Amino acid sequence: MLFLIDYENVGNAGMKGCDYLDAGDHIIVFYSDARKHVEQRTLENITVSGCVFEICKLGKVGKNALDFYIASRLGELIGEGYEQTAVVVSSDGGFQAVRDYWQSRAIHKRRILLSSCIEDGIVSGNENKERTRILKQMREKLEIGEYYSVYAERMRVKKVLQDMFAGTEYEGRVEEIQNMLNQKEKSAKIIYLNSLHLFGRKGGLEIYNRIKQIV
């Protein structure tokens, strides 16, 4: 995907989701002296992703000048043959005209998306990629009361396990034991087999004998 970031408009908030960029992406940050500082972690995430990274600084201040830069660069890339989804990251409604042009009036229609941050653009792009599935799942809304009930139960079980294995050679592996108990399949047989697999025959049997009272 191609991301054209109107950084003067969105700032660091528009970079949300940069940790989900990959080597197939192309990101261009358009900025001016009015807003030229980017968080270090954001720049490092972009670097680590392996994507194509460009910056474009506004040369002369003027009304909507940076918008014209973005529209011009998009047209340049499409003219060079870019055919994948392009995302303009900005809260400026004027870019709707750019989107409408490439989607309806150009000889070869292009998919142009408008979003307020990189993450929204990835989700709206709806690619058949793992990052899209992960982000959609993470953005699902949960009923906070139900979530807290599960959380409180997890904390209760953690305390029980900590007390149960205190002073044993497994007290530092309580989290692993709890994760084993939190798996979808919670039958005693499955937990027994998983315990042997994770901790070996002797250790697994010892752990299972301790936790079977709460299985």
Q: Tell me the whole-structure pTM to 2 decimals.
A: 0.79
Residue 215 has pLDDT above 70, yes or no: no
Give me the residue spans of the domains in the chain: 2-138, 144-211
pLDDT digits (tens, 9 = 90+) for 28-65: 999 999 999 999 999 999 999 999 999 999 988 878 89
Q: How far is CA 143 from CA 83, 114, 128, 140, 150, in A?
A: 40, 29, 28, 10, 11
The pLDDT value recorded for residue 108 is 63
Q: Is 95 strand, coil or helix?
A: helix
